[in-house]
Amino acid sequence: SRRSFFEQSGRFLLLPAASIAVSFPANAKYGEGTSMELPSYIDYLIEKNTAANDSNALYKGADPATVLRRLAESERRLGEIGELAEKKKWSEINGLITGPLGTLGSSMSQVVSIASASGTAKKTKQVEQAVKKVKADVFAIGQEASRKSAEGCTQEAQLASKDLKILLEIAFE
């Protein structure tokens, strides 16, 4: 019956439960301290302020070849906007701006980091201004697409393509 099963299983489980509940005496001898060393704040400050060895770093910054490949792909996709505008495919233009050209912003940010690492402050400023101009051009393409202006989309795409080439000339000269 059910009652006899619970009585027998209770007796069977009582012994292991009782052995677990018994506390064991401490294994350390009286008077022994821990062998763990606490970190030294002075050592931390010394390690923090020492120059890092960049040759062992896992990430060494943006790879210029990869960034250039992405920018070339964006340049190619900008060329498709005029054809899509003539066919009045506004949703495809907006999809192109948010999709493939959506990575253009991050790629241009990597161009700025590459330029700042290898160039002067003046060159970095010029690259940043060129990046802002290309971003404004891409934004203008989206505005023209929302107005359903084929001519405006084509002009803004050509302007963005031209400004992207200027950006690359400034950054990688």
Q: Give the tens place of pLDDT for each residue, 76-121.
A: 998 999 999 999 999 999 999 888 888 888 888 888 888 888 778 8
Report pLDDT for 156: 93
Q: How far apart are CA 136 and CA 142, in angstroms?
A: 10
Give whole-number Cα distances, 56 to 52, 65, 128, 141, 171, in Å.
9, 21, 30, 43, 27
Residue among 76, 83, 78, 97 at smallest CA distance from 150 = 83
Residues 6+ away with beta carbon under 8 Å from 54: 60
Q: Give the tens place of pLDDT for each residue, 27-61.
A: 656 666 666 677 777 777 777 777 566 666 666 66
Residues 6+ away with beta carbon under 8 Å from 114: 61, 62, 64, 67, 171
Report pLDDT for 166: 92
Tokens representing residue 87 in the block:
């066919």
Q: Which domains does the chain have, with CATH numbers?
A: 61-171 (1.20.120.290)
Report pLDDT for 52: 64
